Amino acid sequence: MRATGTSPRIITMEEYRSHWQPRGWQLVIIGPTSSWRQDWGEWEAIRDIVQNALDEAESYRCGYDENGLWIADRGSGLAVADFLLGPPKLKPEYARGRFGEGMKVAALALLRKGYCVHVETVGRELWLVFLEQRVNGSAQTLAALWRANGSRAGTRFHIIGYRGTAFADRFAVNLPKSAIIAEGPSLLAKPLRRFNQLIGHAFPDGSRVYARDIYMRGINSPYSYNLWSFDMAPDRHGPRNETELWVDMGRLWCCVTRVELIETLIKMVRLPPQLEAEESHNLNMDPWSMGKEPVTGRSYADFIRENASVWQQAWRNVCGEEAVIRTDDRWDGTVRHLGYLPVSVSWYVKDALSRAIITDVDLVKASQERLREVKVIPDDGLSARQRAHLNLARAIADQVSPYIRVVGIHAAMIPPASDRVRTAGLYGRSTQEVFIASDQLESGRNTVDTLIHELAHHTSGAEDLEERHSAEMTRIAGLVVKLTHEGAFDELMKGVTW
Amino acid sequence: MRPVELERIVLTHFTAEGEVRRFARYLSSRQGQEEFRMALSKARRAALTPQEQPAVVVSRPRPAGGSGLEYLADSPEFLAYTIEDIGYREKLDAAFLEAIRRAKGH
């Protein structure tokens, strides 16, 4: 399409001087040649025009007329200088665009595709054109024809000849309100508080990540996201730093309060994943990386603590009533011993989840604290039968382990080691004492069982489920049987009830 | 922890400043600041200097198990299970029932 007088695309200096200048049009040479940014097509061009409109007015309108697609906003309008490469100033941090150059590249890409670009803005109108110049052949450089005229408010881009898609669903502002299923404050709070959004919407090409309201890329996930707190690479094809995207997603998840959504998250981040998604391996909810919400100053991870009951409910629904977060597999045996089940979750969500969900360490620590409350029952506080069984236990210990002696064998009131198991026997490592629950002492059989087990802790130094403990139990039990056969405890047997 | 137990543990096991500090840190998680300060001071006094440290520190080495827990608690069900598991249930029952019969003169 050459200059037609109504819709110019390529003009020469002669055509400008003969046709346009006499009609009051001025020419501004913007600079780049028509081959610049070959990777830009219609989507990239429309993306940046809409981005600019949203930065101007937080909303935009678009539609088609007899000439093609138009995109309009109600912003303060554009200056001619805004079309020059190297804008007068960078856009503010909170803006969707950052460098202010997309609009020029958008016009260039559209012209290259064969469309004409007309801009009507406050006080002026412009045609973006290629200026054909003769320099050892010919070169087309981006230029603008402009003159005073235009609208009284806002800016309207007209892509003449374009009747393709306006990519409406690639801008989060166009999604139905019902598609936003959760929101949480981003790091951007001034001049507008921006909210990261979790999107539940069935897109034909799968879930998506929007960066500051604008489509960035697809994601293998049950959800789509609209995120605000990470910087884009200058070409806007991805984040400047990939980790920042996943941390920002973590900030959003910290603010989610619906059980069913958190259930899905847990299915994604438990190991191995119950629901395989990109979040399974990349989501980052590290409290330090997420930082603090700028308005309240609270740590993002603390939002989980504030909604602990919801997170706990979701955790129980997915992992079971008895599940705790595994932080270290060396606690696995102890955790199972306490009637719980250790469940692994992705490394970078572990700390945040533990603000609401009990971990193996929490469980063991609470158990140990509770067990410290063990109370010894003086011998004269026992029944004759209990005393007889306790004396038998002490005699067995003296005979079986004469050199590695325990400091004491006591009847005791032992608190339950957890809310899921009772405690019948206890060995205190630092004090080297064996405690036998008073109800165990009602039976000689239970007393001897307990003694053999706890004595094996003492002599082996090993814990439950360790091979050394099992081996030592076998040795002690064998010795007890031998000594009993030999009559070593016969004097104590009169008061014993097996 | 009762003072007498603290004293015993310190004297029995801690022979170096590093160990004293570790023990003091552990105490700090369990006790108030004042008690902690006193415990640290006591532990320091009790610790041996490098010159005083014997070649063999602990006379009854008992290697700690996997997690290093202070209290090892067992449920009645687990106690019974472990006796079954090592294969001594019937042997113990038989030996003790026989001993009881002997003792009671049956």
Identify whether the C-beta of residue A445 lies closer than 8 Å to the C-beta of residue A389: no
pLDDT over 60 at A153, yes or no: yes
Among A166, A195, A223, residue at a domain's last position:
A166
The answer on pLDDT for A392 being more than 50 is yes
pLDDT-derived band at A196 (thresholds 50, 70, 90) equals very high
**How many domains, in total, are found in chain B?**
2
Q: Is residue A344 a part of any domain in this protein?
A: no
What's the pTM?
0.79
A327 occurs within a structural domain: no
Q: Is B36 among the domain residues?
A: yes
**Which pLDDT value is given to residue A139?**
85
> Residue A329: inside a domain, yes or no?
no
- Does residue A63 belong to any structural domain of this protein? yes
Helix axes B76-85, B89-103, angle to 10 degrees: 100
Residue B39 sits in the same domain as residue B75: no
- Closest residue in A to B10 (Cα) is A430
Reply yes or no on whether the pLDDT at A18 is more than 80.
yes
- Would an 8 Å CB–CB cutoff place B105 in contact with chain A? no
In a domain, A467, yes or no: yes
Contact list in B for residue A451 (CB cut-off 8 A) is none
- Note whether A179 and A313 are same-domain residues: yes
- Residue A277 shares a structural domain with residue A182: yes
Decide if B5 and A429 are in contact by the 8 Å CB cutoff. Answer: no
Q: What is the pLDDT of residue A3?
A: 38
**A67 HSE (CA, 13 A, CB side):** 12
pLDDT at res. B67: 65
What residues of A are in contact with residue B100 (Cβ under 8 Å)? 444, 493, 496, 498
Structural contact between residues A318 and A274, judged by C-beta atoms closer than 8 angstroms: yes
Give tens-digit pLDDT for A261-289. 999 999 999 999 999 999 999 999 999 99
Are residues A405 and A448 both part of a single domain?
Answer: yes
Q: Cβ of B70 and A450 within 8 Å?
A: no
Same domain, B76 and B29: no
Distance from CA of B43 to the nearest CA of A (A): 15
The verdict on a CB contact (< 8 Å) between B88 and A422 is no
Within a domain: B62: no
Give the domain extent around B17. Answer: 1-55
Does residue A92 share a domain with residue A177? Answer: no
The shortest C-alpha distance from B85 to chain A (Å) reads 9
B87 to chain A: nearest residue by CA?
Answer: A474
Residue at a domain's end among A166, A198, A218:
A166
Q: Name which of A5-19, A154-168, A324-338, A436-450 the model is least confident about.
A: A5-19
**Residues A239, A102 share a domain:** no
Q: Per the domain annotation, does B38 fall within a domain?
A: yes
Q: C-alpha B36: how far from its chain's center? A: 21
Query: Is B75 in CB contact (< 8 Å) with chain A?
Result: yes
CB atoms B69 and A494 under 8 Å = no
Q: End-to-end CA distance of chain A: give it in Å, rounded.
A: 106
Per the prediction, chain B carries an average pLDDT of 66
Quick check: B11 contacting A, CB < 8 Å? no
* Residues B3, B39 share a domain: yes
Tell me, yes or no, whether B3 and B48 share the same domain: yes
Q: CA of A447 to nearest chain B CA: how many angstroms apart?
A: 10
Counting the structural domains of chain A, the total is 3
For the cut 60, the answer to whether the pLDDT of residue B15 exceeds it is: no
A224 shares its domain with A104: no
B29 shares contact with chain A (CB less than 8 Å): no
Contact A480 B92 (CB under 8 A): yes
Q: Which of A317, A345, A363 is the last residue of a domain?
A: A317
Q: Are residues B3 and B35 in the same domain?
A: yes
What is the structure's pLDDT at A169?
A: 94
Which residue range is the domain that position A199 belongs to?
172-317
- Of A8-22, B67-81, B82-96, highest mean pLDDT: B82-96
Are B1 and B46 in the same domain? yes
Residue A258's CB is within 10 A of a number of other CB atoms, namely 14
Say whether both A149 and A270 belong to one domain.
no
Together in a domain, B49 and B78:
no
Q: Do B79 and A457 touch (CB under 8 A)?
A: no
Pair (A18, A139) in one structural domain: yes
Task: Find how far residue A112's CA is from the centre of its chain.
Answer: 41
Instruction: Answer yes or no: do A212 and A242 share one domain.
Output: yes
> Are both A177 and A302 inside the same structural domain?
yes
Q: What percent of chain A has pLDDT over 70?
A: 95
**Res B44: pLDDT:** 55
Subunit contact B75:A494, Cβ cutoff 8 A: no
Residue B88 forms contact with A (CB below 8 Å): yes
